[in-house]
Amino acid sequence: MHLEPTPEVLAALAFVPACQYLLTTAHGEIRDGRIVDRVQQCGTEPPTLLVAMEKGHPLSPMIRDSRTFALSLLDANERLIQRVFGPDRRIGDDPFLTYPYQRGIMGAPIVTRATAWFDCEVVRHLDVESNFELYVGVVRNAGVGTVTPMRLNAALNLARATEQRRAGSLVTRAHRSRPAGDRESAAESPAQRAIASTASAALSPKSRSPRSR
């Protein structure tokens, strides 16, 4: 049974570390990529990465058929790659005609204008009961990109702030949709109501000393 996440769950999930990667693959003469932010190391012997991607993207069948994908850890200040691989790009256009890349040993195009890159072979595809599907890849090759690793913290902070803003927006919409009584009870905890009551009593005329009058 699918349950909608509560505002509290969304707010907590916003603190899970995330960072922007460019996920790419190729099958035959077709190559493509998209930006993802749910990537996790899930093994060291052999080195293994887990990628979660929204279902229904044209990249999915290409990854399944080619059994390969590459990941490039993006720099926070990289703007061109956002335009080239962003949602405004027309499906069918080859983004690599205008962006530098190298071909990985597994065949996927790899953007090296990044902090680091990983060339992976798919060893597992999981279709879970969620709006995301999972790909597990063994790292066959990897390297450091042309962007200085000193910017990695900035990339992590930017992705985390973006995720928190997204969760905050969802929490606000969920809060507004509640009845007025529910909003008041959710907005103030018992401790907060006690503090507000104490502050109100301190500011009332009866609580003021004659000197303060």
How big is the chain, counted in residues? 213
pLDDT tens by residue, 34-93: 999 999 999 999 999 999 999 988 899 999 999 999 999 988 777 788 777 876 666 667
Q: Which domain holds residue 36?
A: 7-154
Residues in the chain with pLDDT values less than 70:
1-2, 87-92, 147-213
The answer to whether residue 160 is domain-embedded is no
> How many beta carbons lie within 10 A of that of residue 153, not counting itself?
10
The answer to whether residue 95 is domain-embedded is yes
The model carries a pTM of 0.65
CATH number, domain with residue 98: 2.30.110.10
Q: In what order do the strands lie in the sheet with 21-27?
A: 30-36, 21-27, 68-73, 116-126, 132-144, 47-54, 39-44
